[in-house]
């Protein structure tokens, strides 16, 4: 699986942060992590468990729910639970000049011309997504990497793609640290991407 299993017994659980809540500063503050992870994600997880109790989705992995649930409350909360699990697990302490290496660099160069060009295209997608949603780097069934924009709780799994890297552009992801400067947040995030984790999601 490309993330820590979220299903334990019959309940969907919070993913564990692989770093301290202040480890991503100054890119993402401890206060933002406390609200974004501790309150927003916790609410999605709690709401999803309530909604699926006694339904056909009870006891399923969150990925299964995301791919099979109809549009509506169950999908929205499952999508945001999965999106945020992938999101929070892809980070590490800031490193200036942080770049992918090895296979990850090779496939990005193959499909986007260069790592730098990938970053430009991804940043453009994230900056131009209207309203709330996510920018994703995903892999299709043939192994090709593509960039997509998903509104609200959308996840590439919904379209038969494998999500590799996701950037949350809901305002709660950055407003405490960057106010309305979404572009500044996008530019700063490259310093905290754990490319080893992203590469591990490749099929």
Which residues span the domain enclosing 34? Answer: 7-17+28-88
Number of domains composing the chain: 2
pLDDT at 3: 46
In 3D, which of 173, 165, 176 has the Cα closest to residue 199?
A: 165
Those residues of the chain that have pLDDT short of 50 are 1-9
pLDDT at 62: 96
pTM of the predicted protein model: 0.92
For the residues of the chain, what is the DSSP string, one character each?
Answer: --S---EETTEE-PPPPSS-TTTTTTTS-HHHHHHIIIIIIHHHHHHHHHHHTTSTTTT--HHHHHHHSPTTHHHHHHHHHHHHHHHHTTB-S--TT----HHHHHHHHHHHSSHHHHHHHHHHHHHH--SSEEEEEEE-TTS-EEEEEEETT--GGGGT-EEEEEEE-SGGGTHHHHTT-HHHHHHHHGGGB-HHHHHHT--
Residue 126's CATH number: 3.55.40.20
Euclidean distance between CA atoms 39 and 33, whole angstroms: 9
pLDDT in tens, 35-58: 999 999 999 999 999 999 999 999
Same domain, 139 and 177: yes
Same domain, 112 and 181: yes
pLDDT at 11: 80
The string over 137-168, giving b where at least 16 C-beta atoms fall within 10 Å of a residue's C-beta and e elsewhere, is: bbbeeeeebbbbbbeebbbbbbeebbbbbbbb
For 128, counting Cβ atoms within 10 Å of its Cβ (0-12 exposed, 13-18 middle, 19+ buried), the class is exposed
Same domain, 132 and 174: yes
Same domain, 68 and 130: no
**Domain final position from 47, 66, 88:** 88
Residue 37's CATH number: 1.10.287.990
């Amino acid at each position: 699986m490309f993330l820590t299993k979220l299903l334990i017994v019959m309940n969907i659980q919070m993913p564990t942060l692989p770093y301290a809540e202040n480890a991503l500063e100054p890119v993402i503050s401890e206060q933002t992590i406390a609200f974004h992870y501790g309150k927003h994600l916790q609410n999605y997880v709690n709401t999803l468990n309530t909604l699926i109790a006694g339904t056909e989705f009870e006891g399923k992995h969150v990925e299964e729910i995301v791919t099979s649930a109809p549009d509506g409350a169950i999908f929205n909360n499952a999508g945001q639970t999965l999106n945020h699990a992938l999101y929070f697990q892809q980070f590490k302490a800031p490193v200036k000049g942080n770049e992918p290496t090895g296979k990850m660099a090779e496939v990005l160069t193959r499909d986007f011309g260069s790592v730098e060009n990938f970053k430009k295209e991804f940043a453009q997608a994230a900056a131009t997504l209207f309203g709330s949603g996510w920018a994703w780097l995903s892999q299709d069934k043939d192994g090709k990497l593509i960039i997509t924009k998903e509104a609200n709780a959308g996840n590439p799994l919904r379209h038969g793609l494998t999500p590799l890297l996701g950037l949350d552009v809901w305002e709660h992801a950055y407003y405490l640290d960057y106010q309305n400067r979404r572009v500044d947040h996008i530019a700063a995030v490259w310093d905290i991407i754990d490319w080893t984790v992203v590469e591990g999601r490749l099929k």
